[in-house]
Amino acid sequence: MAPQYKLTYFNLRARGELTRFIFAAAGVQYDDNRIEFSEWPALKEKTPMGQMPLLEADGKVVCQSGAIARYMARETGLGGKSSWEEAQVDMFVCGVDDLITKLCDAHFASDEAVKEERTKALGPYVSKFLDNYEKLCGPEGHLVGTSLTYADLAFFVGMHDIWQHRADALEKYPKLAKVAETVRDNEGVAAYIAERPETNI
């Protein structure tokens, strides 16, 4: 019998979207439990570490977005085909996590001057990020190996807000453009993107 999964997070992409993409790409059914900010204080004390997202698998609960995504990648065969591939995949995913942290830090800055400074610093950071990823990327439409991994999904998720401002962001990065095309062409991912709620981060 297939495990019963429930992912609990705010109605945001941010730290929950990669796991949603893994579920979508793998065609795995789950309960996408999106809660309101007003619901969080009552739930917080009942969570393992006082934070989200939360993954419930057959009644067992784990938190930390990275741990959740890695677990589901292993469970769905999207984590890499060898220990070395797994390490490479995790390297790319960790890099995207750094990117998302920078994007969130700029978006959620309460001080306008700080927000402006952080947003301005994103340009050089994103350029270096893309340069590195293009250099390390495989030639066949995948960051690692010859089949879809959650590194490809993470890269696509991380690019969302960049594409909002620069639709041609990958024009000078042919290998990465091919990765984005691979993810976009995945039937499960395409269906999820078409149906997901529009959120600002």
pLDDT at 63: 97
Domain membership of residue 14 as a residue range: 5-77+188-195
Spatial separation of the C-alpha atoms in residues 50 and 188, rounded to whole Å: 31
* Within-domain flag for 181: yes
Based on the domain organization, do 90 and 46 belong to the same domain?
no
Q: For residues 108 and 178, state if they share a domain.
A: yes
Question: Do 14 and 63 reside in the same domain of the chain?
Answer: yes
Amino acid 29: pLDDT: 97
Least Cα distance to 101 among 111, 90, 109 occurs for 109
Instruction: Determine the straight-line distance between the first and last CA of the chain, rounded to whole angstroms.
Output: 35
Are 91 and 156 found together in one domain?
A: yes
Say if residue 93 is in the same domain as residue 177.
yes
Task: Give the CATH number, domain containing residue 43.
Answer: 3.40.30.10
Quick one: DSSP state of residue 9? E
Q: Are residues 122 and 155 in the same domain?
A: yes
Question: Please, which residues bridge with residue 5 across strands?
Answer: 57
Is residue 89 domain-shared with residue 180, that is, in the same domain?
yes
- 54 touches 110 (CB < 8 A): no
62 and 94: one domain? Answer: no
The reply to whether 98 and 27 lie within a common domain is no
Q: Which residues of the chain have pLDDT under 70?
A: none
Q: Tell me: do 69 and 95 sit in the same domain.
A: no
The answer to whether residue 200 sits within a structural domain is no
- In this prediction, residue 1 carries a pLDDT of 81
- What per-residue confidence (pLDDT) applies to 109? 84
Residues 87 and 179 in one domain: yes
123 within domain boundaries = yes
* Res 110: pLDDT: 85
The answer on 131 and 154 residing in a single domain is: yes
Q: Residue 94: which CATH number?
A: 1.20.1050.10
CA distance 163 to 6: 29
3-state DSSP of 50-97: CCCCEEEECCEEEECHHHHHHHHHHHHCCCCCCHHHHHHHHHHHHHHH
Q: Is residue 201 part of a domain?
A: no
Its pTM stands at 0.94
154 contacts 91 by C-beta, under 8 angstroms: no
Please count the structural domains in the chain: 2
Length of the chain: 201
| DSSP state letter for 172 | T
Residue type at position 117: E
